[in-house]
Each structure stands twice: as C-alpha cells, then as structure tokens.
C-alpha cells in the first residue's frame, strides 16, 4: 500500500469498521469475497474495502455515513449504525474523503482518501505509514 499520513490508532479503527462490515454483510453468501486494496485516482491514493455482500441501493450512499443510519433491520444484521459515521469522521479529520458504492445483492465498495506521505518525510510518534 502507498504511504499516507495518519494516526495509527484511529486509522486502525477505520480499517476494522470497514472490514467487519464487509464480513458481516457478506456472511449470507455461499462464497463470500472481500477485497482490500488501493488505487491511484487523479493523483490521490484511494484505499478501499470491497465485498460481494448484500449491497445497497446507491441512492442511499450519502445516508450511510450519518450516525444511527441503517439500511437493514437489527434482525437482519446486528449493529448500532455508528460504524461508518466513525469512519467518515476519522478520515475527514485526516483531510480525506469517504465514498460508498453499492448495488443491491451484488456488493459494496467503501473507499477513502488520505494525504500522501513522501518517502523523505519524517515519521513522528503516533503517526504511521500505511
């Protein structure tokens, strides 16, 4: 993965929330697939978690990052509805953006950007390279 400037403990929370959501919403599939990676888009590093889970209607993509917003009932999938809001807040505090793409019954892709870290920049305590 390319370098980025980020606080290690909060970035860990971003990855944990995105990966656990991918696992949860893919759990009903006979052959779950989760892909973690990055791509360069218009000069930015974009990190992502993609799955073949239940997906969502793309008209709700902006709603997903709001606190207590859920597209599925508690009976269908456990959760509090705060995980993606936490992801958005952490990424935005690091100067990045979050994105959601999905299609019902085909899966989802959650992406985020972070500022790049050049090889020559110093790494301070509590700041990590990913």
- Ordered by where they begin, the domains of the chain are 6-114 (3.30.565.10)
DSSP 8-state assignment for residue 58:
G
Say yes or no to pLDDT of 125 above 50.
no
Query: What are the pLDDT digits (tens) for 52-61?
Result: 998 888 876 7
- For the cut 70, the answer to whether the pLDDT of residue 121 exceeds it is no
Distance CA 83, CA 40 (A): 25
Alpha helices in the chain (DSSP H): 8-26, 83-93
Rounded distance, CA 73 to CA 8, Å? 32
Average pLDDT for 107-113 = 95
């Amino acid at each position: 993965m390319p370098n980025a400037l980020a606080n290690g403990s909060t970035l860990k929370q971003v990855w944990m929330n995105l990966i656990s959501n991918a696992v949860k919403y893919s759990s009903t599939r006979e052959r779950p697939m989760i892909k973690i990676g990055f791509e360069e888009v218009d000069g930015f590093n974009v990190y992502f978690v993609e799955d073949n889970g239940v997906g969502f209607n793309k008209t709700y993509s902006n709603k997903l990052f709001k606190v207590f917003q859920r597209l599925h009932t508690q009976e269908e999938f456990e959760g509090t509805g705060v995980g993606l809001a936490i992801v958005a807040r952490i990424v935005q505090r690091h100067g990045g953006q979050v994105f959601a793409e999905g299609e019902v019954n085909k899966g989802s892709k959650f992406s985020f950007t972070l500022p790049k870290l050049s090889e020559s920049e110093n790494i301070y305590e509590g700041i990590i390279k990913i």
